[in-house]
Amino acid sequence: MRIAVENVAWSVRDVTIIEKIDALFEPGSFTGLLGPNGSGKTTLLNVIAGLRKPTYGTVRADAQVVHTLSGRDRARRIALVEQHAHTGLELRVREVVELGRVPHQGMFGGSQHASVADAMKLARIEHLAGRSWQTLSGGERQRTQLARALAQQPSLLLLDEPTNHLDLGHQLDFLETVRGLGVTTVAALHDLELAAAYCDRLVVLKAGRIVSSGTVDEVLTADLLDEVYGVRATVTPHPSTGRPHLTWHGTTGALHA
């Protein structure tokens, strides 16, 4: 799925959270959405997902305007894994994953069981199938939510800080899994090393606007890290992968200027 974000803004109570956002996410690409806290990453993901209507501008999924689609149609095409997922219901892990099939009920009949099983296998949570959601750790919940999203069989996968609650091994496994799906993916990430290692392209926000976008090599520069994050860093090719590798040297104060 090709996603075009065209001159998008979103405001609440006369406060503009994001504005003048233009971005293009090509089919099958994995794009990292970067920026400091409060830069608008989560808001932009929610607008792309159709959960928030832009104050102005348009989001197109292929030729269709996302916000004109019914909720059911959006859910068949777009899956969002939120940063924090909560429910007071007593659900088993498998039941949570099965929620991803709700938009498709009545369409594929017997394929439901296989889709759920495949999603759980991809997310490495088969062993958790009978566990109560309420007993899961933060990382286990995150992987369960990924499985729920995969069960939707979306054409667009949106991830909001998906590695926050995961240990290093599960962070790498999670991103390897997502990258291998071949699904258009946009992920808000705080870990710049992970973004450099796994993303095809990057979009960087600051104060609700895009300040840089392009390939990882084009975007991750020492000047950008100073401007956006207020840190001094050296960016060199990783000895194994050739992708950008960041070495931190301290803060500059630019973030609060």
203: Cα separation from own chain's centroid: 12
Closest CA to 196 of 205, 206, 209, 187: 187
The residues spanned by each domain of the chain are: 3-220, 221-257
What are the tens digits of pLDDT across the range 238-252?
988 889 999 998 988
Residue 110: per-residue pLDDT: 47
Query: Model's pTM, two decimal places?
Result: 0.91
DSSP state of 116: H
Give every residue of the chain whose pLDDT is below 50, as ranges: 108-111, 257
The correct CATH number of 3-220 out of 1.20.120.1460, 3.40.50.300, 2.40.50.100, 3.20.20.70 is: 3.40.50.300
DSSP for 170-199 reads: HHHHHHHHHHTT-SEEEEE-S-HHHHHHH-
**What distances in angstroms separate CA 108 from CA 94, 103, 154, one per listed residue?**
19, 11, 15
Token pair belonging to 202: 């990057």
